[in-house]
Chain A
Amino acid sequence: MIVVALASPAAADPLDELGFGAAATGMANARTAVAIGAEAIHLDPAGVALATRPELLIGWQYSHDRLTLDGNDARMIDAHGSTLGLAIPFTVGDVRLGTGVAVYLPDQYLARIQLTPINEPHYLRFESATHRVVVEPVVAVAFGDWAFGFGVSVLADARSRELRFDVGVVGGEKQGDARLDIAMPTRKAPLASVRWAPSRKLELAAAFRGQLSLDLDLDIVANIDVPDVVTGTATVALRSVSYFTPMRASVGAALHPREDLTVTADLTWEHWSALGSGMPDLRVLLALDIQPPLVSSIQPPARFHDIVTPRAGAEWRSGTLRLRTGAGYLPSPVPPQTGITSFADGARVLATAGAGIRVEPGAILTQPIELDLALAWQHVVHALVRKDEALQPGGAFSSGGDILQASASATVRF
């Protein structure tokens, strides 16, 4: 048996990185306590029940990574994709109810699975963070000053029920065939949130999302029957965790000091220490008439630590115009990489700006439409990592750079 050194991606939710809608992007995602309707589905599902009409949010986002490794381009692939949010509120007596679904569809891939040799420097958290689909159905209820939202964030695993590959001699001729039975069971992380508006000038919210990941669990059997060459069975067992998205809890506040101004703040705790090794486990068992087996090696745990992320935002409204800005500090959960692993990472400083207009009903529209644009800049602090001299004499790598993001969205009411 062998255990092989590979590293698979760990990442936040793409919508945490890009924002769900340009209004959220323009305020550094600090809209947990003010989001209502379709844009609330991801940040605070309770806000879905506070909408007054069915809403459709359609958006598109682009993220350009300018990260470096040892001073060279890290060759990250730009991420871009579409967001779609649908919120349907309705009432039963005095109780306001709502249901909705948020979807993020990357333009290039629904998912991308990378396994990188563990001692090769790479951006474990960023290289695939925005390259996966997001689906979040929710329900919400509101009465009085309170609103509650519940839902799930859905992803899938991949598990083999049968994965057989036969190589043999049939009728005197070599021949190979395969039989596959692979299930992709749904993986769900719970979403829950509560919203409270104690006064017209203050709104408070708390949101929780469970841990999510794409787990591969594949057992492959290769039956080999080539007389006078080799006969027997080779078994490959792969266990890996991709798109690890940590459990997180957020609290948010929104203050309305004036009719035309909203100031928000969010604080988010992310449970990165649950990542485990962060590496897949690939084992090969050879039941063949050959010796010796391959040598085993076992990798150390990743030892990521939990982080707390503060974000703040502001929105100013004048007639149909909205201007937004936001900022945040995103610490790194990655410990010093002095050992065999080489996870490039760094604390990030986030600054955002955005604008929107509200097109009022009139001769063309029966309901208002909101059009929003936003730009975001993340600076990943440069770091020079020196390896433990006992493990890798003279070993070192540097990392850092910038991530630029743009977002556009429209919110249509019916």
Chain B
Amino acid sequence: MGARHRLSTAIAFGAFCTCWGARASANPFEVLGLTSRHAGQASAAIASVDDAAALYYNPAGLVARPGIELSLGTIGAYAHLEHGGRLADPTGAQLAIRAPLPLAGRWQDRIIIGIALHLLPREVAHIIAPSPDEPYYPYYGDRMSRIVVLPGAAVQLGRLALGASLDVLAGFAGTLDASEGATRAIDARADERIPTAARLIAGATWQATPCLRLGAVVRQHFELAFATSANTTVAGEPIDLDLRAAGLFTPDQLGLGAAWTRGPHVVSIDLREARWSDYRGPFVRVDSRLPLVGDIPALSPRVPFTDTYGARLGIESHVGRWIVRGGYGFETSPVPARQTGVTNLLDGPRHTFALGGGHAWGRIRLDAHVQLQVVQHRELTKLLDDGKHAYDPFTSLRDEDTATPDVQITNPGFPGIRGGGQVVSGGLTMAVAL
């Protein structure tokens, strides 16, 4: 078997392995919210949440009210973003339930457990890892494209409530060994595993006065180190390929909130910080060593993501059996505004406007909401490498074919690219007190 044949075989198996190591997506609740009641307030809920949606917003809120409650809903979104930015899975169904443990005496209604789910109509997950030069919105991308399972519990200790929930996730790791068998066909052995993993959401609320409740929530940083290797032996010669991907990055998040209640009106204010500066980017890194060609390094630009800060305001007002809601939120962008090299990651500071309403019939309440996210426009302009320093793919572009006169560049963002736009979402939720 020729060396070129071995090379092509190795590359094919390297690509085979690549399919296993893709990153999964982040939490769709971060983009769309959980239940129409809270999405209709721009997800300003850290201190005010008092239903099963607390499993995401602040698990301590699970215990704010007694009783068994079930919420069923659907949510959907439409993106109008520059360069055809779209949402991979724009619709989903949501279910959240909570119930107090059947304890009597002083612990009655003091410990409450629950579970929240986000389900996709046709998929469990949809994984997208773009090429480094592909125009791509990392904040949206595939962030809504996985199911979410959030079990949790909370306990009431006087005016203090503590709660925790787990975002159950999965990663990927394994190996593929392949070698030419006796019949010259490829004899392969694979052992790929999808390990169970989870990240913690912990929160607390403090009923400072009858009107004022304060809340804090911490969402744990999570990153799954996807790693798989292909060890191929052809004609007695080993050909190795290694895949390294930083899967499912969710930054450390800290949220502080206050909720002020006066009669039938509740005003919520949230402040949030997310440490996106730990993010290494959405790209898959594939390194290989092949016969004749030697080392083939991955094109993996290091993108300096930045921490984000945001504030949200939400209002809920009861008028008889009717409920009116509204909200506004602002969040800075984690994506660098200056990308003069290979990458075309599109994003911008985000404004969120929300409106919602509901109506109660006895034990049943029906809520609806609509939300508009406006991503501020940004213009990315590319620079050409001057050849004076070591080449950095994040800071400049270079001639792709040095054997041809003039400069050949196929980067879709050259000489400039504009990003931004709007994402509209809406939903319905039915809440039943059981």
B284: Cβ under 8 A from any A Cβ: yes
Chain B residue at minimum C-beta to C-beta distance from A120: B189
Within the complex, the shortest CB–CB distance from A119 to chain B, in Å, comes to: 9
Residues of A within 8 A of B9 (CB): 234, 284, 286, 294
Contacts of B209 in A (CB 8 A): none
Q: Is the CB of A163 within 8 A of B15?
A: yes
Counting CB contacts under 8 A, is B192 at the interface? yes
Q: 8 Å CB contacts to A: which residues of B167-204?
A: 168, 170, 174, 181, 183-196
B267 to chain A, nearest CB (A): 33
Cβ of B210 under 8 Å from chain A: no
Provide the bound-state CA to CA distance between A114 and B100, in Å. 42
Which chain B positions have C-beta within 8 A of A113?
Answer: 174, 190-194
Docked pose: A374 CA to B13 CA in angstroms: 45
Q: Within 8 Å CB of A170, what residues of B?
A: 299, 398, 400
Report the minimum CB–CB distance from B26 to chain A (whole Å).
16
Chain A binding surface SS class = strand
CA distance in complex: A158, B129 (Å) = 15
Given known A181-B128, A234-B11, A288-B4, contact A414–B402 (CB-CB < 8 A): no
Q: Binding site of B, secondary structure by majority: helix, strand, loop or mixed?
A: mixed
With A171-B400, A412-B101 given, is the CB distance from A224 to B8 under 8 Å?
yes
Give the residues from 125 to 183 in chain A that come closer than 8 angstroms, CB to CB, to chain B.
154, 156, 158, 160, 163-167, 170-172, 174-183
Chain A 221-263, CB-CB to B under 8 Å as 1, else 0, gives 1101010011010111010000000000000000000000000
**Docked-complex contact A171 and B399, CB < 8 angstroms:** yes
Given A110-B196, A229-B4, A5 and B187 contact (CB-CB distance below 8 Å): yes
Chain A, interface residues (CB within 8 Å), range: 35 or more
- Are B8's CB and A286's CB within 8 A? yes
Task: State whether B299 touches A117 (Cβ < 8 A).
Answer: no
Contacts of B287 in A (CB 8 A): 176
Tell me, in angstroms, the Cα distance from A177 to B183 when the chains sit together: 32
Query: A90 on the interface (CB 8 Å rule)?
Result: yes
Contacts of A112 in B (CB 8 A): 191-194
A295 touches B183 (CB 8 A): yes
Q: Are A109 and B194 in contact (CB under 8 A)?
A: yes
**Option from A107, A165, A174 in Cβ contact (under 8 Å) with B18:** A165
Give the Cβ gap from B172 to chain A, nearest Cβ, in Å. 10
Task: A4 to B292: give the CA distance in the assembly, Å.
Answer: 26
Question: How distant is B16 from chain A, measured CB to nearest CB, in Å?
Answer: 5
Task: Report B-chain residues with C-beta under 8 Å of the C-beta of A114.
Answer: 190-192
Q: Are A86 and B120 in contact (CB under 8 A)?
A: no
Q: Does B297 contact A (CB under 8 A)?
A: yes
Q: Check B15–A184 contact: CB distance below 8 A.
A: no
A88-B185 contact given A175-B296, A184-B124, CB 8 Å threshold: no
B225 to chain A, nearest CB (A): 16
Knowing A108-B195, A165-B286, A176-B296, say if A186 contacts B124 (CB, 8 Å): yes
CA distance A366 to B196 in the complex (A): 34
**Given A290-B5, A369-B102, is A295 in contact with B184 using a C-beta cutoff of 8 Å?**
yes
Does B44 make an interface contact (CB < 8 A)? no
Q: B15: which of A116, A154, A185, A222 is its contact (CB, 8 Å)?
A: A222
Residues of chain B in range 103-126 having any CB-CB distance to chain A below 8 Å: 103-105, 107-108, 113, 115, 120, 122-126
A121 → B minimal CB distance (Å): 14
State whether A110 touches B170 (Cβ < 8 A). yes
Pair A222/B286 contact, Cβ less than 8 Å: no
- Residue from A106, A115, A290 within 8 A of B4 (CB atoms): A290
Instruction: State in angstroms the CA–CA spacing of A235 and B15 once bound together.
Output: 9
B434 contact set on A, CB distance < 8 A? 54, 88, 90
Complex contact B398–A171 (CB within 8 A) = yes
Q: Bound state CA distance, A155 and B190, in angstroms?
A: 21
Is B12 close to A, CB under 8 A? yes
**Interface mask (B8-39 → A, CB under 8 Å = 1, otherwise 0):** 11011111101100100000000000000000
B322 at the interface (CB under 8 A from A): no
Cβ-defined contact, B186 with A218, below 8 A: no
Binds B, one of A13-21, A40-48, A357-365, A399-407: A357-365
Contacts of B283 in A (CB 8 A): 177
Other-chain contact of A116, B125, B189, B391, B400 (Cβ < 8 Å):
B189
- Contacting residues, chain A, for B15 (C-beta < 8 A): 163-165, 178, 220-222, 234, 236
Which of A166, A178, A220, A226 has a CB less than 8 Å from the CB of B12? A220
CB-defined contacts of A373 to chain B, threshold 8 Å: none
- Residues from 265 to 286 in B contacting A, C-beta threshold 8 Å: 283-284, 286
A86 to B52, CA, bound (A): 15
- Asked whether A176 and B288 contact (CB < 8 A) given A107-B196, A229-B293, A284-B12, the answer is yes
Q: How far is the CA of A185 from the CA of B191 in the complex (A)?
A: 22
Q: Are B19 and A186 in contact (CB under 8 A)?
A: no
B212 at the interface (CB under 8 A from A): no
Max chain B CB contacts within 10 Å: which of A115, A174, A178? A178
Contacts of B191 on A, CB cut-off 8 Å? 112-115
Residue on A with the closest CB to B22? A180
Q: Which one of A5, A54, A181, A230 has the greatest number of beta carbons of chain B within 10 Å?
A: A230
The residues of A that contact B113 with a CB separation of less than 8 Å are 56
- With an 8 A cutoff between CB atoms, is A344 at the interface? no
13 extra interface residue pairs, beta carbon distance < 8 Å, beyond A177-B283, A180-B284, A220-B19: A86-B97, A86-B115, A113-B191, A116-B189, A163-B19, A175-B299, A178-B129, A179-B131, A234-B11, A282-B188, A290-B8, A295-B183, A297-B185
**9 closest Cβ pairs, A-B complex:** A367-B102, A165-B15, A156-B124, A115-B190, A220-B15, A234-B12, A180-B129, A177-B299, A295-B184
Q: List 8 A-B contacts (CB under 8 A).
A: A3-B185, A171-B402, A174-B294, A175-B297, A176-B299, A181-B129, A224-B11, A289-B4
